[in-house]
Chains A and B, each alone.
Chain A
Amino acid sequence: MLPPGAHRLNGSLPMPEKQPIPDDIAEQAADWIVRLTAGDATEREQAQSGFEVWKKQHPLHAEAAASLQQVIGRVNEVRATTHGNPEPAHAALKAALAEGNRSRRRFRKTVATLVVACALLLPAWQLLQIYPPAYLMADLRTTTGQWQTHDLPDGTRITLNSISAVNLHFDIERRILELIKGEILVDVAQDTDRPFLIETAEGSIQALGTRFVVDRHEQTTTLTMLESKVSVQTAEQRAEHSHESTLVQAGERIHITAQGVSAIETIDTRTISDAWQYRHLVVQNRPLTEVLDELNRHRRGHILYDRAQLQGIDMAVVLPLDDTDRALQLLVDSLPMIRIRTLTPYLVLVDLAPASE
């Protein structure tokens, strides 16, 4: 008995020839083809005429030439898929070839993670005794679809959403949490002697015992206040050691960019707290494209769509972020005009459903 489907031939080029091309002829063809794109113009011209003569010498020569040139044709087709941009294909092949170096890199990364993990396990006071007055520094990061809650040595609790990274710079005088990217929920522990600061490239948020969400994406830091209040400084004010700041209270949201602090929006703190607790995405009248972007951040693999095509569709919805398959299903259920196709576990395509059935 043979395994089912054993005669399936997968993904080969259609090859009309009956007999394989002899190795020496294939090698000659390869040599000619390489010289066709030589850097030297004279060599190129000579190769062109020489190649034509060679191909006419024997039918197998012409066949070998055509067959080998299909390799270049195939590379060009791949490039054409991305409108001539070679980067996706280049990145893919680079990743495939990086195999050998990967295990070594991973080892180094593991060691670094272990060092950080050990550092976090030690109580803060102990570290401060070992390294007085040096600071405690740690890297915390999450990957796609990962959520992590960390209790910091001062009693502050932070939850990192998918693809987020923070650095901690705690010392005797200050607690600084540097948000590199992504989104975090912070429950700051009271410590009147050591102010708690969240710093991003766009600005600083200073708090004393409070609960809020900070999100940093595409050069915008968004602050959503859940309890109490904080004062916010832009990167510019921070650099000038200015005393000016913006006060943000519970139920308010602002965006900090290089242009400054946006107008204050009001939000429903209860919904957002619940969203973090139950890992839900809660949106009220936001564009579908934004919702898809958000799902993308939580999904291994990709949701692909044409931004222009889906523009103008707004929605209000609650989606589970820890089960993006279900989230996508809920999305289709609430928006009958869109269509979702799963091509591979890594690739989901979203577009407008065909007009009529």
Chain B
Amino acid sequence: MPPPDIHCKQVETLYSDHHRWLRGWLCKKLGCSEQAADLVHDTFLRILNSGEVLTGLTKPRAYLTTTAKRLLIDRARHRRVEQSYLDELALMTATMEGAPSPEAILMALEALKQLSDALQSLPANASEAFLQHYLLDETQPAIAARLGVSVRMVQKYLAQALLCCHRALTD
């Protein structure tokens, strides 16, 4: 990781050289809207927070569009997380006394979005094992039987998922 001030300088150059172009590109893709402007902002924010080495970037525009596309995919996933969570919550609150506070809901949604970022990058078995064990309290042997793998393998999946979620939650 380059020293923070150098990284900032590089992002600054990238921004001043290409942000107009990126905006135009996104306008064509999404229709000119607030969404396009918003996405330009978030694309640069993501690059800034990533701390990736930008020296010798040969195709800066391809790099920008890839980052923007990933961002769009993440956003779509976050919307699904939000929608499904609130759907279930609405079902629950219909029968439950006392809905969770708005702050608690927003915190839960934030955590779920970060977890979804991590889990989607894992093999299906690893994310399934994580959900079954840590969210649904399923035992490790039961998960092994369900996935048709050894208990030792389930433990490997769980460790892998823990590490991946840890990175997503602390980044």
> Given contacts A77-B108, A96-B119, A304-B93, is CB(A71)–CB(B165) below 8 Å?
yes
Interchain CB contact under 8 A, B120 and A96: yes
From A82-90, A172-180, A323-331, give the one contacting chain B. A82-90
Which of B44, B85, B120, B135 sits near A97, CB closer than 8 Å? Answer: B120
Given known contacts A82-B92, A304-B99, A67 and B170 CB-to-CB distance under 8 angstroms? yes
B105 touches A81 (CB 8 A): yes
One of A11-19, A128-136, A197-205, A206-214 contacting the partner: A11-19
Question: Assuming the A-B contacts A2-B15, A93-B116, are A88 and B89 also in contact, with contact meaning beta carbons closer than 8 angstroms in the complex?
Answer: yes
Query: 1/0 contact trace for A167-199 toward B, CB 8 Å?
Result: 000000000000000000000000000000000
Q: How far is A63 from B45 in the complex, measured between Cα atoms in Å?
A: 29
Task: Give the contact-size bracket for chain A.
Answer: 35 or more
Residues B133 and A37 in contact, CB atoms below 8 Å apart: yes
CA–CA, A2 and B8, complex, Å: 9
A93 vs B41: C-alpha distance when bound (angstroms): 27
Cβ-defined contact, B45 with A93, below 8 A: no
**Does the CB pair A78–B111 fall under 8 Å?**
yes
- Find out whether the CB atom of A31 lies under 8 angstroms from the CB atom of B159: yes
Q: Which secondary structure dominates where chain B touches chain A?
A: helix
B105 to A74, Cβ gap below 8 A? no
Q: Are A2 and B159 within 8 A (Cβ)?
A: no
Asked if A239 is at the interface of the complex by the 8 Å CB criterion, the answer is no
Q: A106 in the interface, Cβ–Cβ < 8 Å? A: no
Which residues of A51-86 are within 8 A (CB) of B? 67-68, 70-72, 74-75, 77-79, 81-83, 85-86
- CA–CA, A343 to B84, complex, Å? 16
Q: Are B170 and A88 in contact, with the CB atoms below 8 A?
A: no
**In the complex, residue of chain A having the shortest beta-carbon distance to the beta carbon of B117:** A96
Q: Name the interface residues of B28-69: CB closer than 8 Å to any CB of A.
A: 40-41, 44-45, 48-49
Interface residues on B, range: 35 or more
A33 at the B interface (CB under 8 A):
yes
Residues in A77-117 with C-beta less than 8 Å from chain B = 77-79, 81-83, 85-99
Number of A-B contacts defined by CB within 8 Å: 204
| Complex Cα–Cα for A302 and B16 (A) | 40
How long is the Cα–Cα vector from A34 to B151 in the complex, in angstroms? 11
Question: CB within 8 A of A95: which of B16, B83, B99, B134?
Answer: B83
Q: B82 contacts A99, CB within 8 Å?
A: no
Minimum CB–CB distance for B15 against chain A, Å: 7
* Chain B residues positioned under 8 Å from A99 (CB to CB): 77, 80, 120
CB distance from B47 to the nearest CB of A (A): 10
Per-residue CB proximity of A38-51 to B under 8 Å, as 1/0? 11100000000000
Could you list which residues of chain B lie within 8 angstroms of chain A, going by C-beta atoms? 8, 11-12, 15-16, 19, 40-41, 44-45, 48-49, 77-78, 80-90, 92-94, 96-100, 102, 104-108, 110-116, 119-120, 124, 127, 131, 133-137, 139-142, 151, 155, 158-160, 162-163, 165-166, 169-171
Q: Could you give 18 example pairs across A and B, Cβ below 8 Å?
A: A1-B16, A6-B45, A11-B110, A15-B170, A30-B158, A30-B162, A39-B141, A72-B162, A75-B111, A83-B100, A92-B84, A92-B88, A95-B83, A96-B119, A97-B124, A307-B97, A344-B82, A346-B86
Additional 16 contacts, C-beta under 8 A, given A30-B163, A99-B77? A11-B114, A27-B159, A34-B159, A37-B133, A71-B134, A74-B111, A75-B115, A86-B135, A87-B88, A91-B84, A96-B120, A97-B119, A302-B87, A306-B99, A343-B105, A347-B86
